[in-house]
Every structure is written in C-alpha cells, then in structure tokens.
Amino acid sequence: MNESAECLICHRGLYADELGRYACRPCVDRVDGQLRALAGPDGLYARLGGRLAPGSGGGGPAVSGSRSAPLPVRLEPLSLMARGGVVTILQTWLIDWHDRLGWGHPRWNGDMQQQLDEVIQALRANLPWAAASHPAIDEFGREVSQLARQCEQQVTGERRPRTVPVACPCGQTLRVTLDTPGCRCPGCGEQYGHSELMDLPLAERRIAA
C-alpha cells in the first residue's frame, strides 16, 4: 500500500478516492493506451516490419558510395522486434506480476506477434491491480512509455523529443522534454510533476569566457 499521497509516475497528489494506490487513474489510462498502441496487426510493433529495409523509416535515405556493403536490415527496428526487445521486456514484467500474485509461470504461445498480443492482453487485464498494489508501477510505466516511443519513432521517422533546460529556484538546471512525467531536483530534492516542470522558467545559457 502506498503510504504517500502522490502518484509514483507523475508525482501529482492523489485524489481522496485514489489514496493508497501507487498510480493515479490518468497515468494508468495513459499506460493502457500505450500498451494498446503496441498490439495488434496494425499496432506499432507490427509496423516495425516495414521499417527493416535500409533507407526506410527514420533511417533516412540509403547512402551510396560506401566502401562496405550496407547492412541488409536496419538494426534499430530489428532490435525492438527480436528476442530481448519489446516482447521480452513485457514478458519479464508479466513474470514478475505472476510471482507477486503467487501464480504459475505464464506460457508463451505462437510467434513473436502472437506472444506480444498475449502478454499485452494479460498486462492490461492486471493493470488495475498493479496500480493499486505494485510499488514498481512507476518503473513499469516508464518502460512501457519508452518502448512505445521507440517504436513510434522508428515507424514514423520522428526524431527524438528535444530536451529543454529549465531552472529550479535552487539554481539547478533540469533537462526535460514535453513527455517528461515528472522528476526530482538533484540540487534541493524538490519533486515536480509534469505541469510544475512546464511552469519552470528556461535556464539561462552559460557563455564560456
């Protein structure tokens, strides 16, 4: 049971009917949406298959004139699709949840796409339990968000979100993006939620003498 009065993911205060939970409902809904975006024949994971050829997706145009032959596939989407990538990471979380609930080891059936859809279905079904009972729900939320973002970048060719330096009143510079759910200032220990981070002033650039 969460003894603090804030969500571990976004660090905003919990409402009265959320007290005791580890994650607020908006964060749970966001994680659920990211899981849904990964799954299915038209999901982000399935669409990675169309970005394997060199020069496709976010890799830019193929470059000619190289002294060595180009790789037959792009490594970024391949690493997300292969063992150790998206499916394996999500399966590791489901194993952890099964252990905490006292359930047997989950079974994996079918090819990688089928295993992905299966593990996402199980994670979504048990997400309300994790939000209420799992003290590492923030780590799970961050990993799901990162996986969805990485897949989306490969599928759409979108560049990584720009990092913006903002200034904590203590003088510490915090580097955040528009997607940063919250962070703690290493200088003074102040905890900021997403909206509080967006309200901080931009840090002044230091000009070398």
In the prediction, which pLDDT does 59 show? 44
In the prediction, which pLDDT does 147 show? 94
Q: Provide the greatest CA pair distance for the chain.
A: 64
Give the DSSP per-residue string, 107-124: P--SSHHHHHHHHHHHHH
In the prediction, which pLDDT does 146 show? 92
This prediction has a pTM of: 0.70
Please tell me the distance from the alpha carbon of residue 103 to that of residue 35, in angstroms, as a whole number: 22
35-49, 70-84, 86-100: least confidently modelled range:
70-84
How far is residue 63 CA from its own chain's centroid? 31
The stretch 187-205 carries a mean pLDDT of 84
61 pLDDT higher than 70: no
9-13, 16-20, 75-79, 178-182: least confidently modelled range:
178-182
Residue spans of the domains in the chain: they are: 1-60+70-160, 161-209
Share the mean pLDDT of the chain. Answer: 85
165-171 LR contacts (CB < 8 Å, sep 24+): 165/202, 165/203, 165/205, 166/197, 166/200, 166/201, 166/202, 166/203, 167/200, 167/201, 167/202, 167/203, 167/204, 168/192, 168/200
In the prediction, which pLDDT does 138 show? 93
Categorize the per-residue pLDDT at 160 as very low, low, confident or very high, splitting at 50, 70 and 90: low
Per-residue 3-state assignment (H helix, E strand, C coil) for 144-204: HHHHHHHHHHHHHCCCCCCCEEEECCCCCEEEECCCCCEEECCCCCCEEEHHHHHHCCECC
Q: First CA to last CA across the chain, in angstroms?
A: 52
